[in-house]
Amino acid sequence: MRRFPMVAIVSAAAIGVWGGLSPARGAGEGAAAATQKQEGIPALIGKLTAPEESVAGEARQQLAQRGAEAVPALVAALGSGDNRTRDAVALVLASIGDPRAVKPLANLLNHADPNIAHAAAWALRRIGAPAADALGAALAGSAASARFPAAYALAGIAGVRNADPWLSALKDPDVRVRYYAATALGDIADARAVEALRKAAADKDPLVRRTATTALAKADAARRAAEGGTDKPEDAAAETARYQASIDAWNAGGEASVDLLIRGLQDTSPRIRRHCAWALGRLGSARGV
């Protein structure tokens, strides 16, 4: 919770003694307010790292209120300030939401300090749609350290329908990136996403497998709806559960799994029959053959 400085309370006796020498209370407050309002943007940026939270918090609030006027100086501070300044400036830029901050913030996604990378990612997530292209480029780029912050930020922006960066992210060595990719692709109506999610449903990480399975069910349901399908929600949920069971059977292996996969060849769902046939072939079971 933001703390504000305590206001000094002047006693009635003190007012009686000094009343003739001091300006009227209203006039003094007005002068103080005018001085505060006229404080320069560079000075406010310098206060962002003040040890007193009341001072730093007031500086953040005033810079956010200045809005677009403060953006050029804040962007410059991203490039020239120390890490504490960068972190605080990213927080202010997130609250302003100006697209001019997108590129300099995106440049910090692969910063050596993960706290700075996360602060930049959070700010870009708050800026929203104007940051989507830059985040997609970082997600598909060669800087490995930038891909997780970019995935975190891009996954939090609603309405992004470009599957391309997520398709490559689904193969990323970082399990966190693959998780965000599987989640995002479930909401994107793209035929390539369905095929990629089928492969991800056999991912070595159980979280990615579960996420991909759920996303695949959503993608298939959206496709069926677009084609005029009449599946009820409970039917889709039951089919998803059976599909997950077939995935688990493939991962577990063994004779009991072979039995389940053979039964799955007769399932009413084409994707379950397809997966069971593939899994039986990979397991190399004579009964499966």
Question: Looking at residues 76-100, what average pLDDT do you find?
Answer: 93
Helix (H) or strand (E) holding 50, with range, is: none
Q: What is the pLDDT of residues 196-238, one digit of tens each?
A: 888 898 899 988 998 888 888 777 766 666 666 545 544 667 7
> In this predicted structure, which of 24-33, 45-54, 138-147, 149-158 has the lowest mean pLDDT?
24-33
Closest by CA to 240, choosing from 216, 267, 268, 209, is 216
pLDDT bucket at 37, cuts 50 / 70 / 90: low
Give the separation between CA 61 and CA 270, rounded to whole angstroms: 57
Q: What is the pLDDT of residue 246?
A: 85
Say yes or no to pLDDT of 245 above 50: yes
Say yes or no to pLDDT of 34 above 50: no
Give the separation between CA 273 and CA 236, rounded to whole angstroms: 15
Question: Looking at residues 136-160, what average pLDDT do you find?
Answer: 94
Percent of the chain exceeding pLDDT 70 equals 80
Question: Looking at residues 18-36, what average pLDDT do you find?
Answer: 40
**Highest-scoring range by mean pLDDT, 124-133, 238-247, 278-287:** 124-133
Closest by CA to 67, choosing from 102, 101, 117, 118, is 101
Output the DSSP codes for 60-108: HHHHHHHGGGGHHHHHHHHHHS-HHHHHHHHHHHHHH--GGGHHHHHTT
Say yes or no to pLDDT of 25 above 80: no
Residue 46 DSSP SS3: helix
Q: Tokens for 11? A: 């006693």
Give the separation between CA 192 and CA 189, rounded to whole angstroms: 9
Q: What is the pLDDT of residues 154-182, one digit of tens each?
A: 999 988 888 999 999 999 999 999 999 99
Output the DSSP codes for 169-214: HTT-SSHHHHHHHHHHHTTS--HHHHHHHHHHTT-SSHHHHHHHHH
Residue type, 37: K
Q: Count Cβ atoms below 10 Å from residue 49 Cβ, excluding itself.
A: 18
Alpha carbon distances (Å) from 144 to 167, 169, 174, 192, 213: 16, 11, 9, 24, 26
Say yes or no to pLDDT of 8 above 50: no
Q: What is the pLDDT of residues 90-117, one digit of tens each?
A: 999 999 999 999 999 999 999 999 999 9
157 CB contacts (<8 Å, ≥6 apart)?
125, 128, 129, 131, 132, 135
Residue type, 199: K
The 8-class DSSP code of residue 110 comes to: T
Give the separation between CA 30 and CA 20, rounded to whole angstroms: 19
The 8-class DSSP code of residue 22 comes to: S
Question: Looking at residues 50-72, what average pLDDT do you find?
Answer: 95
Handedness of CA 282, 196, 217, 223 (dihedral sign): negative
Q: What mean pLDDT value characterizes the chain?
A: 82
HSE, side-chain direction, 13 A CA sphere, residue 247: 26
Say yes or no to pLDDT of 30 above 80: no
Say yes or no to pLDDT of 27 above 50: no
Q: What is the pLDDT of residues 111-131, one digit of tens each?
A: 999 999 999 999 999 999 999
Q: What is the pLDDT of residue 6?
A: 32
Question: Looking at residues 66-74, what average pLDDT do you find?
Answer: 95
Contact 182, 211 (CB under 8 A): yes
Q: What is the pLDDT of residue 288?
A: 81
Q: Tokens for 104? A: 């300099």
Give the separation between CA 124 and CA 131, rounded to whole angstroms: 6
